[in-house]
Amino acid sequence: MNRTPSFSLLTLLLGLVCACLVGQSNAHAQTPAAETAPTEAAYVIALTDRVRIEVFGESDLSAIVRVDAAGTVNLNMVGEVRIAGLTVSEAQRAVEAAYRDGRYLRNPQVTINVEEYAPREVIIQGEVRQPGRYNLPVESSWTVVDLISRAQGLTDIARGSSVTVSRTGPDGRRQVFTIDAEAIIKGKRGANDGDSLMRLQPGDVINVPQRLF
């Protein structure tokens, strides 16, 4: 009869220990999610950007060149290397790969700096209060919603759920993306995260259609 209270107390203590362990496990499981939050997009090299390309220890391979209409730069020994549409770090790796794969250099170390930026212009047309051309800032990037905000917002007859972004890549291929900007602006549940994070690129044409009554 005297064993029952001791057994109950032991059971209670074991339950508390298990609860603490589960809580710590959940806390650790949530940590990576906070670390993978999206960050500001890196600068993407555009057509007609003027760039300085330096190869460490190889001064004769260093050059200041302009990205041509095909999205490439012409470099000593390796010829044309496509870098438009790449971030600066990706472009550095592309040039390093060209020298390494061509067996000109065993372990090339390339640094690229943008000396002169191409005009970074986008166009927004249709049902916004101030349609027109807007210059993208170099030091940061804009989403479709950022641009709509700078164009003073949607009109009363805008179909904000079907905003299109037309983009021509360095290879000349045209892509069209449809974005539900209205859901993002209003903070609706189920808004597409990809739409809210998509960054505009120079030359993009954004169209806001009229709502059908």
Q: pLDDT in tens for each of the 213 residues of the chain?
A: 444 445 555 555 555 555 555 444 444 433 333 222 223 457 889 889 999 999 999 999 999 999 998 899 999 999 999 999 899 999 999 999 999 998 899 999 999 999 999 888 999 999 999 999 999 988 778 999 999 999 999 999 999 999 999 998 767 789 999 999 999 998 887 677 777 888 898 899 999 999 987
Distances in whole angstroms, Cα of residue 84 to Cα of each of 46, 68, 71, 91: 5, 9, 5, 8
**DSSP 8-state secondary structure symbol assigned to residue 143:** B
Q: Tokens in use for 157?
A: 């007859």
Q: Is 101 helix (H, G, I), strand (E, B) or coil?
A: helix
Residue ranges per structural domain of the chain: 50-116, 121-208
Does 121-208 carry CATH code 3.40.50.2000? no
DSSP string, 28-89: HHHHHHHHT---PPPPB--TT-EEEEEETT-GGG-EEEE--TTSEEEETTTEEEE-TTSBHH
Mode of pairing for the β-strands spanning 163-168 and 174-179? antiparallel
Q: Residue 5: how many CB atoms within 10 A of its CB?
A: 9
Q: How many helices (H) and strands (E) does the chain have?
A: 5, 10
pTM of the model: 0.63
- Cα gap 150→61, rounded to integer Å: 43
Does 50-116 carry CATH code 3.40.30.10? no
Question: Is the separation of the CB atoms in 126 and 185 below 8 Å?
Answer: no
Question: Is the separation of the CB atoms in 69 and 47 below 8 Å?
Answer: yes
Identity of the amino acid at 107: N
